[in-house]
A and B are shown apart, each in its own frame.
Chain A
Amino acid sequence: MSENTKVVKNATCTFCGCVCDDMELHVDIDEKRITKAKNACVLGRAWFAEHTIEEDAPAAMIDGKEVSVDEAIEEAAQTLVKAKFPITYGLSDSTCEAQRQAVAISDIIRGNIDTTSSVCHGPTGMAFQGIGESTSTLGEVKNRADLVIYWGANPAESHPRHFGRYAVTPKGMFTPLGKKGRTIVLVDVRKTKSSPVADILIRPKIGTDFEILWALRALVKGKKVADDIEEQTGVPLATLQDLVDRMKNCHYGVFFFGMGLTMPRGRHFNTGALLALATDLNEFTHFVAKPLRGHGNVTGADNVVSWQTGYPFSVNFNFGYPRFNPGEFSTVDLLAKGEADAAMIIASDPASNFPKRAIEHLKSIPVIALDTKSTLTSQDAHVAFRTSTYGINTAGTVYRMDDVPITLRPAYESPFPDDATILTGIKKRVNELMLAKHHANGAIGEAKVAAHI
């Protein structure tokens, strides 16, 4: 360790959607690494420890050969402008400042923009539009919630500080007893590392979440539920009735829900049923529902794409104005159906986690990849940029999972450019190329008209 060190207080961890902003980072400036991340969870410690600088890695490559960043920006812009159906995907591990540049590029080139939301809480976004959202900040939960229900989620492993910082053990203004003053319910088909925190553990049969949620809605409204509900779902009627009594009689209830609802059969119908249940409960008490968001700025991606296009993800500009249609303009569908002919992937690795057919098509088209590390996606990319890490090297804004914006305090400088700088360069160049294309088409059009006369 060198003697050139510093401490950054109140830094932010951007690994998961908790976006904990109470980090104390001990930084070795000469060695360009974080030696200690006080207050970080197991995931945060790995995030800070492993994002070191690989000085030897090229900042930019075209077809595996090192080039200057400017050359790579030019090639990326040319590739996007030449394509008939260029798509942009990823964005949830980048700053809001970079995300807005990506939206602008998609708008200029009349392309398609989608975020990792579409394979995460996209079905929740669809349900928000259909049902609505009874929402709150995590601060409200900490200070008020006396009934916390986790559904289809395992925060002990995906959001390790959610229990301690926001929802289970912290003592708040109206929750002075912390966990002792709260009832914690966990609904999951598996017993997980989150299970020990639960006062009530409900383990339904696989694939019966919708049926349980609908039965709970019926019981909340005083309707009769089928006698064989336990046979159908694995959950006794008495357990459901007990949960309904607790939900109606609590002072402030909250659902936190995860991929256990969005990823299986039912998708947005599952999340819609939960949001509808939260709405129903507001006839009796105060009840909110929040998705547990995964990546550090996936919530920012939803916000930025929404404020710039009116829609949160799966947005298409082919007609010159934004259209929203998951299933048509979502990246998995555009790749699996072979419609996209160029892709810009920002801070994401679809070649690792998309369905096989989508990966096969991705490998057959030119890809522009921006990532802090080498991935299966960047490895095969036509143009690959090595970028600095947001929150560690790059300042900017991210949104916590409860839509609260937080400013980043970077720890040390990276030799690699950040996403926003690269995307701003690509935006400038695609704008010039599109204008030139437009003028050329206009000139051809005028010549044709002249010939016709």
Chain B
Amino acid sequence: MAEKMILIPGRSSKQGTSLNQGKLKDEYKQVTSTLEMNKDDMEKLDLIDGDEVRLSNDTGETTVRCLGVKPEDLPAGTLFIPYGPPSSQLMASDTAGSGMPLSKHMEVEIEKIST
């Protein structure tokens, strides 16, 4: 079952340290494909830490692994992911005349990938 949520890509310490190692290295790839999610939302979607989920919108889709965070840290219906190639897959190119693509608060559908 897919659910609509709001995705916030942003910086994290691990993203910063791993990009120094190199963007083609495994750690950077792993950090930028880890999705933080409100634990209550995870329970609703029958997800546990490490589960693969598909994020999609009109622009594209990407597969990431989810990691639960305390419900008081991330509002329900909100997702956080460190900036990187997976979040770029969901970023539309329209900049509304500003040069800046909409890079935060992107509406996405999230669904569990059955194994």
A residues whose Cβ falls under 8 Å from a Cβ of B: 15-16, 42-43, 46-47, 49-51, 114, 118-119, 122-123, 126, 154, 157-158, 160, 189-191, 193, 203, 206-207, 259-260, 262-265, 267-268, 294, 313-314, 326-333, 335-336, 349, 352-359, 373-376, 379
Contacts and interface: CB of A to CB of B under 8 A. Distances in A.
Contacts of B103: 119, 259, 263-264
11 contacts: A43-B16, A50-B20, A118-B99, A119-B103, A160-B13, A190-B73, A190-B80, A259-B103, A264-B102, A264-B104, A349-B23
B92 interface: yes
A305 to B, nearest CB: 13
Given A330-B95, A356-B93, A374-B24, A43 B6 contact: no
For chain B, what secondary structure do more than half of its interface residues adopt (helix, strand, loop), or is it mixed?
loop
A153 to B, nearest CB: 9
Contacts, number: 154
Nearest to A193: B13
A328 B97 CA distance: 7
B92 A46 contact: no
Nearest to B106: A264
Interface string B47-68: 0000000000001100000000
B115 interface: no
Nearest to A373: B22
B11 A332 contact: no
B61 to A, nearest CB: 10
Nearest to B89: A356
B16 A126 contact: no
A268 B22 CA distance: 32
Interface residues of B, number: 42
B43 interface: no
Contact of A157 (B6, B13, B18): B13
Most buried by A among B16, B18, B105: B16
Residue from A50, A126, A263, A375 with most neighbouring chain B CB atoms (10 Å): A263
B96 interface: yes
A361 to B, nearest CB: 9
A327 B13 contact: no
- The 8 A-B pairs of least Cβ separation, nearest first, read A330-B99, A327-B97, A336-B93, A326-B99, A46-B17, A50-B20, A118-B99, A355-B93
B6 to A, nearest CB: 6
Interface string B1-30: 000001010111100111011111000000
Interface string B70-105: 001111001010011100110111111111111111
A380 to B, nearest CB: 12
A357 B93 contact: yes
A203 B48 CA distance: 27
A262 B24 contact: no
Contact of A353 (B24, B85, B104): B85
Contacts of A262: 100
Contacts of B104: 259-260, 263-264
B88 A327 contact: no
A376 B92 contact: no
B100 to A, nearest CB: 5
A359 B88 contact: yes
Nearest to B17: A46
B17 A326 contact: no
A191 B97 CA distance: 31
A154 B12 CA distance: 9
B41 to A, nearest CB: 14
Given A118-B100, A357-B93, A46 B88 contact: no
Contacts of A189: 8, 75, 78
Contacts of B80: 190
Residue of B24, B78, B80, B93 contacting most chain A CB atoms (<10 Å): B93
Nearest to A189: B75
Contacts of A357: 59, 93
A375 B16 contact: no
Contact of A356 (B13, B59, B75, B84): B59
Contact of B85 (A267, A352, A373): A352
A355 B100 contact: no
Contacts of A358: 93, 101
Contacts of A349: 23
B99 A259 contact: no
